[in-house]
């Protein structure tokens, strides 16, 4: 693993985390789109369908759908299947509120085309370090 990239973004929820990147080029609806008990993406036809967000650094453009999504993020956290961190192109209120009430470090204003699923990501407040094999 080599550190290949260091980026800075805007802190939505501060904190330190690391994990394997799971990248989606499509927006994510937490309410209805992710199984709250398993962390598996279940939205039909979504590019992450069938994949688990548990423990991952989840990278996607922005959230969508119902504001109940904030509570789904909270439930994922309580069940131990939440992402370890979130990186957005442009965070919106559903994800922001969910991340804050669940204490999941979250950064936005980052060009997410920099990331590939499988990268190892370390984040600390606004700083992101990307390691790739």
Residues 12, 114: Cα–Cα separation, whole Å: 19
- 5-34 residues near other proteins, rule: CB under 8 A: 10, 12-13
Distance from C-alpha of 129 to C-alpha of 29, rounded to nearest angstrom: 26
Instruction: State which of residues 5, 17, 40, 101 lies at the interface with other proteins (CB under 8 A).
Output: 101
Annotated active-site residue 29? The verdict is no
Contacts of 101 by beta carbon, 8 Å cutoff, 6+ apart: 70, 73, 74
**Contacting residue, 23, 57, 72, 104, with other proteins by CB under 8 A:** 72
Rounded to a whole number of angstroms, the CA Rg of the chain reads 13
Cβ of residue 1: shortest distance to other proteins, in angstroms? 32
Task: Answer whether 62's CB lies under 8 Å from 95's CB.
Answer: yes
Residues at the interface with other proteins (CB under 8 A): 10, 12-13, 36, 67-68, 70-72, 74-75, 78, 90-94, 96-97, 99-101, 108
Catalytic positions, written as ranges: 66
């Amino acid at each position: 693993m080599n550190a290949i990239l260091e980026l800075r973004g805007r802190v939505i929820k501060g904190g330190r985390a690391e994990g394997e990147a799971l990248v989606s080029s499509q927006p994510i609806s937490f309410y209805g789109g992710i199984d709250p008990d398993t962390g598996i993406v279940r939205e039909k036809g979504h590019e992450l369908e069938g994949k688990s967000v548990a423990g991952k650094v989840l990278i996607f453009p922005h959230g969508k759908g119902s504001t109940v999504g904030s509570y789904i993020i909270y439930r994922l956290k309580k069940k131990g299947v939440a992402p370890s961190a979130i990186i957005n192109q442009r965070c919106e209120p559903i994800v922001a509120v969910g991340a804050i009430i669940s204490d999941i470090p979250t950064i936005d204003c980052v060009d997410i085309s920099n990331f590939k699923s499988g990268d190892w990501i370390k984040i600390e407040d606004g700083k992101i370090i990307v390691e790739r094999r």
